[in-house]
Every structure is written in structure tokens, then in C-alpha cells.
Structure 1
């Protein structure tokens, strides 16, 4: 009897499912700083070189970005506008942990944490609470701090979950698709299958080209996401952008065609025409605005390959 596990197969309604999870503290984490609780709303901000600053929550302070009101976030950090500082002492920032699902049943359930090295980012492995590391049990020092051997490391909360679903229903030359983004700070984004217009995922025509996620925006079908298969058989690389950027690119591309025509009529090369080059510069800036990341694909990864390419079979 074979013990080989088959890849998940698409059902009649769903062709593709891919997802990504982002673990981090809210705001831009100020590495090298710690917030030490004194009492009540009083904290000392300590930098690794010994610099200290006393603050009180909900009282305005001056920062390099201007005046802000610090407050405590439920994730275990103090927030200062767009910045955040971990609450705790003697924290080691070489590693971090991510809370995973519990293992076992009933009274035997144990919380599991994935331990990650930070630089370079590397998966160390999963550990259960109580499991020994360098002679010491893995233990919670606080809700957001783990005792990992001789080190105290932070536990990053799940901040964002992104899911791509492609349904077996033709649309816009591809298939009906949704990109759902759940942000723990902001709730669901505009890419919400329950509230925003659906898009379509179009399979690439040629090797190396991306699968394109398109939406109908102001009566036009425009690209707002693109996907490529990544090295591992289960990974997909993505790039997202806003509908506003997609509309701006279309308008600039149309203007570029007009300025090229004007330049050629005047007997000069388009790149020598100031207005033409100005639009080219703006298009290059727009290209930098794509948000990039990776997804794990659990169903239908072959959809990200051209139909004629030697890609994995359906559902791999």
C-alpha cells in the first residue's frame, strides 16, 4: 500500500487557494530600545547604550516626527505615532517566536511556538511550552516574551493574513477570484470578497510571465496584482497595487503614446522630448509602488504556469 500523500485537488467550485501570514509588532519596531514598566502608566525607555527617557502614557511628548501621545498596545509594545518599543527587559533580538496551534487534546494540550532566527531570517523549528532548550524549559515570561534557553525573545503577533481564492467561473478572460486581506490593526482592506467587486485571475500566456489579477475599475479592466511560481513547489511570489495606481498607470501610458507621436511628428526622438521623459519617470516611480511578498499555495499551483508549459499537474 502506497504511503505517498497526494497534493490537494481543486474541487468543482475552487481552482486555486494561496495564503500568506505576516507576523510582526504594529508600527516600526525600534530595535535597541526597551520599555521598562515602573508603575501605573509610568515607563522608562532604555536604549542599549544606556540612554534613558521617562514617559507617562497618554501624555504628549516631543519626538523627531513631532508631538505624539504614547499608549500601550495589547501586543506588548508602547506606540509612539508610527514607532513602537517592546515592553520588557534584557530582550535578545537575534531570534523571535510565532505562536502556532496547540497540540494534543484536553488537559494534555500544549502551546506550540515556531522559533525563527532574524538575520538572516531562518526557521529554527517548532517547540512546545515546557520543552527544554539548553537545560531550561521553554516558558512565557510575559504574554509576548519567551524564555528560550538563556535568552528572552519576543513573540510576534499575527498581524496580517492574505488569501487568494480562484473559483471555477469564467470572468474577464480568466476565472472569478478574490483577494481577502485581514489586517489585525485595520480590519479587512478594500480587497475583500465580501464587500468589494470581485476580480479575475488570468493564467500567463508564456513562460516567465505572471498570472494577472484584474479588476473592473471605472469601466476599465486593469491589473492590480500579479503572481509568479517561486522555487519551492508550494510557493508563489506576488505583487499588489491599489486600483488608484492602476488607473494612474493607464492614463500615463496613454499620455506617453501621445507625446511619442508628437515628438516623431516634430522630427525628434521621444526620449529627447521633455514631456515624454517626464511621463517615463512617473511610470518608473509607479512601478516601485507594487507591494511584494510570498504566498504558500495549497491548491492549484499549476494555474501560475502557462497551459502549454511542463508545469505540475492540477492541484500541485
Structure 2
């Protein structure tokens, strides 16, 4: 093993890195980054690297962006944090106002969460409780498509379909329903995204029509399944899914954690289909990596199901 710096020694003594096999660090010690500028980051030895993965897809505007740095410094001198129950603050209110202006039509309310996985958890709980409080307590199941990834907390793993993340935790997971989804790389109908009518939607259509009475929501990564290998599919699939979920009183939950904020050419990927979901999760590019934060946007209809006196048992 190569000679380690003092920082590398301290790192290996205390830090359990995610998505890593720590034993590999005996031969490949962690690269300790000390500063960043735009596309580049620099380690403690002065070596420069291009951050071509945008620090796990969060960094939209480059490291140490001067404009972002400036407003963060101004904010921290005014207020760093305040309890959000019965209190609020100017920055959160302004963000809410600006975000709802650019979000798909109808998403007027938002809930602050702290990462993509927790936004999935909140979405599932909201959908489940909404149906319970509006006369459909039998709607308890959630549907996703094969290759889905919606985070790594226990509820999020239940609606995911990536075995390498879920296998170990099977005894803990309440599995959602997985339906065959679009696969434009190997289209079973011999079509391409440019000329198809999302014939592959027939699998989802069949399942929802047969079991819609017990399904609370469908969660889907809009337009692109990221962790599955950047699997891009036709917006017609989303259009058909929106039409059917509306008909069957099933929530459409759009996971825009990775693809939101311009990554597909529109502010949000679902806009390519010209439709709006009932619930939308945003994160990553929301803060450009400066803070751990995500947001769940919902419709007024969902919000109103929770708007009641405490005596009615809604919260």
C-alpha cells in the first residue's frame, strides 16, 4: 500500500464510505479533495480531476459557483435555521413561490425533505394516507416498472427494482408491484422512440385495469431510468399512464430527482409528455450539491385531504 497522507489516515480511521468496499481502500486509498472550481476539483497533492459525474448528478453549475457562494454567504449571516413547525422563513417562502411557478401545472404545494430517498418515502405515505382519508382504504399498493430506482431507504427499496440494492434487505422490504416497462434499447415491437406509440404500455395498462381498485399510486422516473443505464423511453408512455391513472383514481408520482432542472431539455422531464403528475419529487439539481435537500410537490386536491381539525385524525 502506498504511503498515506495524514488526511487519508484519518479518513480510513473514522469514515465508512457509501457505495464502496472499504477493503479496496487498502490498495486504492480515498482521494481527498481540498478545493473545486467549475468542472474541476483538486486533491491535497495538487492533482486536478474533471468531475464528469457531477458529484452523483447533483452539480448543475460547477463547483464553488461565485453567484451561488455569494447568496449563501449572505443568507448564513441572516439566518441559518429555524424550526419549520409553526414557523417559516423568507428563503423557504421565496423558493416555494419560484418553484411552483416553473413546475408542471397544478403542483401548488410543497413539502421540504432532505434527500431523494426521503422524498420517495413522503410520496408513498402521502398517497397511502390520502386514499385512506378519502374513502378508499383498500388502495394500499404501489406500482413501478422493471429497472426502477427510487432511493435506498426501506420504503424506497420496495418500489425499486434493482436487485443489487435490494437483495440483502428482502426480509425488511414491503415489496411493491413491478410491471414490465419500456425498453427502447431492445424494443419487443421492433419500434424506436421516434416512431412508436408506446405499444409497451400494454403491460402497465393490463395490470392497472385488473388491479386498479387496490393500487394507490404508480411511481416512475420521468423519461429516463438513470440507475438502470440511462434508459430513455417515449413521452407517449407517460401520456398514456397519466390518462389511465386519472381514470382509475391512482396517483401518478413523478420521480424527477435525477432528471429535473433542465437535464432533458425542459425544466422537468415529464413536460415532454405535456402532462402533470399528482406528486413530483425533486432534488439533486435543486441545490446543486450545496445542501442535502429535496422537495415533494403535490396538487391542491391532495393537500385538501389533509386540511382539517386535529379531531378528525388528519395530520
TM-score (norm 1): 0.24
Larger Rg: 1
Between structures 1 and 2, the one with greater helix share? 2
Between structures 1 and 2, the one with greater strand share? 1
TM-score (norm 2): 0.24
- The structure showing larger relative contact order (alpha-carbon pairs under 8 Å, at least 6 residues apart) is 2
